[in-house]
Structure 1
Amino acid sequence: MATIRQRKATKKYEVQIRRDDWPKITRTFSKAADARAWAAIIESEIERGVFIDRTEAEKNTLGDLLRRYLTEVSCHKKGRDSERYRLISLQQDPIAKIKAAGLSGKLMAEWRDRRLKEVSGSTTNRDLNLISHVINVARKEWGIYIENPVAMIRRPPENRARNRRLAVDEEKKLLAELEETTRSERGTFNEGGSRNPWMRPLVILALETAMRRGELLSLQWKDVFLADRFVRLHDTKNGESRDVPLSIRAYEVLTRLPRHISGRVFPTTADAVKKAFTRAVARADLGNFHFHDLRHEATSRIAEKLDNVLELSAVTGHKTLTMLKRYYHPRAKDLAKKLG
């Protein structure tokens, strides 16, 4: 049964609905008529077995859900750093101010169209996937009962897979710009080169092994087996460890590297690598070339040496042939030479 009482301090009407087979439901109204009407609706829904408690959904905004997800869920993920930036960016969007109960397919579609004017379809889809997961966690684990509006809208088409290859002269220019910057007699840095001494060997290893940036940065010296020419990765994207063979060039790069007290092979940060690489690409005038394109280039180069697709996937860590094909981009002129 519903109990309605007026609070003396606020003059508002509090409704409490108690049943043995339901948790207590409470709601506050400014008018007594609204309180009685709401109580009648909720009791009717409970009797018919269709009641959904919307209290938390009406109390929390999408921004509240994003913040809670950041502190309780995202912090335990491998890609927490990049996801953190995405979550913070979403919190600054006007849609974050909307109550969870007010989210709809229409609002989500408007957000999608507005987002597509700023970023690509693939980036928009990644944001939609994140919002959808936040809402699903809220529904299943936090007791915030709302329909997932992301499931109601059309998704934008994904970008075409990148097939940017690195020409021989481009590689020379890039590595030249990644040479450690020298200092003048006054101790100031001279122009050209990189101030990060780890960049050049890191990029060469990426080109020789097809390892991801995160895999390279998490690599420890205790997992480098130079005598047998391979490294062991524990923290991979798909959650499985793998052994990556080293070419002669990769082996020589590692043998020349100094050992850092941290035990890491490359004691630098993902943000530092991103900034240093972007600047080097700009100085080398390589246009639209990203660090992840090194993995595409490396996969294509290794594929020329390993004809067996199982051996190739063992090196790169791709789980399916479909994913492997996204990273293997043979040049037509090289295939023509094989045809004879």
Structure 2
Amino acid sequence: MAGPKRLSNGKWRVQVRRKGQKFDRTFERKTDAAIYYADVLRMVEGGATRDTIQAPSDMTLAMVISAYLTQVDTGRTNRANLERISDRIGGITIRNMSALVVQDYVDGRLADGITGQTLAGDLSALSSVLKWARHVRKIDVNPDLAKDARTALTAARIDTRSNERTRIPTQDELDRIVAYLDGNPRQKVPAGTITRFAAASAMRISEICRIQIEDINWNQKSVLIRERKDPRRKARNDQVVPLVGEAYEIARQRAAGRAEGRLFPYNHKSAGTAFQRAVAALEIEDLHFHDLRHLAITELFRLGLPMELVAVVSGHRDWKHLKRYTQLSANDVHSAIERLQHNTL
């Protein structure tokens, strides 16, 4: 059984004839052809007795990373990490992937002067690819190579813990960003309105752009967020969340009498990109769209809401996870004391 063959038109063809079965498909990319070839080998050779198949001799890590990125919707940071890995060691074949290869990559990145936290992100991304290749595509590769390399960093006393962000925008920064976005005539996505909604609602940008008008309860000023992110829950996680502050008025304006459909029918990635372009144009340092969630949660605490009620808005299920989104300061403590003293007079 030969591997993928390149045709005169530049496409790749897979032909397998074995045990009375015939497989014949053509692909635009060699990566897709190689993955299909591996699947066919597992099917006709492995039967029900083998869990994996050996990768074709010319299947490289870069090819697997490319296939993974095509199938799996990963974030920008993971994509950038994997593209970097592909550039550095992507030419290694899957058959030759070993702990030594991963360690060479680690040593090279440390020589570049990166932090342990950054390197941990690289290894986490690589681990996801290896697990996908092993458990989804059934390719014979050790899925724990990157995981073991990260454990070795800890043993070498290299700190891989990520620093918790404490950055939230000031009111002046927020006003400037919204004004910039609203004043851009070429901006098709209402990124300024989405920014204001995020700063009030504490929702993630992907949640905002998924809201269905029919899921909004106007009388209770709440919305059902479907499949909300919760790393601890594997099952469906739908939550009813109050539309607090300006979020309710914005929702009313956006619905404009409509009874169904998405409140913000736009790609959340486009809205996030518009926000980051505004931040860069205004020369505002180190500000991410997700920091608006930190801001909204912090403002709720500043208003005096107890943790249990803030958690209803944010969706957190314990103080440990909610705390890292709360950027209260000494001034907030003094302001709260002054309000209490004023109320007792």
* TM-score scaled by length of structure 1: 0.69
The offset of 1:256, in angstroms, is 1.6
Q: Unaligned 5+ residue runs, structure 1?
A: 1-51, 183-188, 190-194
For the pair 1:241 / 2:238, whether they are aligned, the reply is: yes
The offset of 1:95, in angstroms, is 1.2
Q: Structure 1 CA distance, aligned partners of 2:275 and 2:135? A: 41
The answer for the alignment partner of 1:134 in structure 2 is 129
* Identical aligned residues as a percent: 25
Q: Unaligned 5+ residue runs, structure 2?
A: 1-50, 154-158, 231-235, 339-345
**Over aligned residues, Cα RMSD in angstroms?**
3.2
Residue 220 of structure 1, aligned match among 207, 212, 228? 212
- Which amino acid in structure 1 is aligned with residue 323 of structure 2? K
Q: Structure 2 CA distance, aligned partners of 1:88 and 1:100? A: 15
The answer for the alignment partner of 2:10 in structure 1 is none
The answer for the alignment partner of 1:169 in structure 2 is 172
Q: Structure 2 CA distance, aligned partners of 1:168 and 1:84? A: 31
For the pair 1:252 / 2:253, whether they are aligned, the reply is: no
- Which amino acid in structure 1 is aligned with residue 191 of structure 2? M
- Which amino acid in structure 2 is aligned with residue 322 of structure 1? K
Residue 144 of structure 1, aligned match among 122, 140, 143? 140
Pairing 1:193-232 to 2, within 5 Å after superposition: 195-232=187-224
Q: Structure 1 CA distance, aligned partners of 2:114 and 2:291? A: 19
- Which amino acid in structure 2 is aligned with residue 210 of structure 1? A
The answer for the alignment partner of 1:295 in structure 2 is 293
Q: 8 Å contact 2:198–2:293 — kept in the other structure? A: yes
Q: 8 Å contact 2:124–2:147 — kept in the other structure? A: no
Pairing 1:1-340 to 2, within 5 Å after superposition: 55-56=54-55, 60-70=59-69, 74=72, 79-80=73-74, 82=76, 85-86=79-80, 89=83, 92-115=86-109, 117=112, 121-140=116-135, 142-146=138-142, 148-153=144-149, 154-155=152-153, 157-182=160-185, 195-238=187-230, 239-257=236-254, 263-305=261-303, 307-340=305-338
Change (3 A) 1:53 1:177: closer
Q: 8 Å contact 1:306–1:312 — kept in the other structure? A: no
The offset of 1:162, in angstroms, is 0.9
Q: Deviations over 1:228-283 (max 9, x none)?
A: 21111003222511122112421111222255899211122233212211222234
Q: Structure 2 CA distance, aligned partners of 1:81 and 1:306? A: 35
- Which amino acid in structure 1 is aligned with residue 199 of structure 2? L
Q: 8 Å contact 2:200–2:245 — kept in the other structure? A: no
Q: 8 Å contact 1:112–1:124 — kept in the other structure? A: yes
Q: How many residues align?
A: 273
Farther-moved stretch of structure 1 (98-107 vs 242-251): 98-107
The offset of 1:168, in angstroms, is 2.2
The offset of 1:207, in angstroms, is 0.8
Larger radius of gyration: 1
For the residue of structure 1 that corresponds to 2:324, the secondary structure is helix
Change (3 A) 1:227 1:92: same
Change (3 A) 1:205 1:135: same
Q: Structure 1 CA distance, aligned partners of 2:58 and 2:210? A: 41
For the residue of structure 2 that corresponds to 1:247, the secondary structure is coil
Q: Structure 2 CA distance, aligned partners of 1:320 and 1:115? A: 36
Q: 8 Å contact 2:213–2:255 — kept in the other structure? A: no
* TM-score scaled by length of structure 2: 0.68
Q: Structure 1 CA distance, aligned partners of 2:206 and 2:91? A: 34
Q: Structure 2 CA distance, aligned partners of 1:62 and 1:170? A: 43
The answer for the alignment partner of 1:31 in structure 2 is none
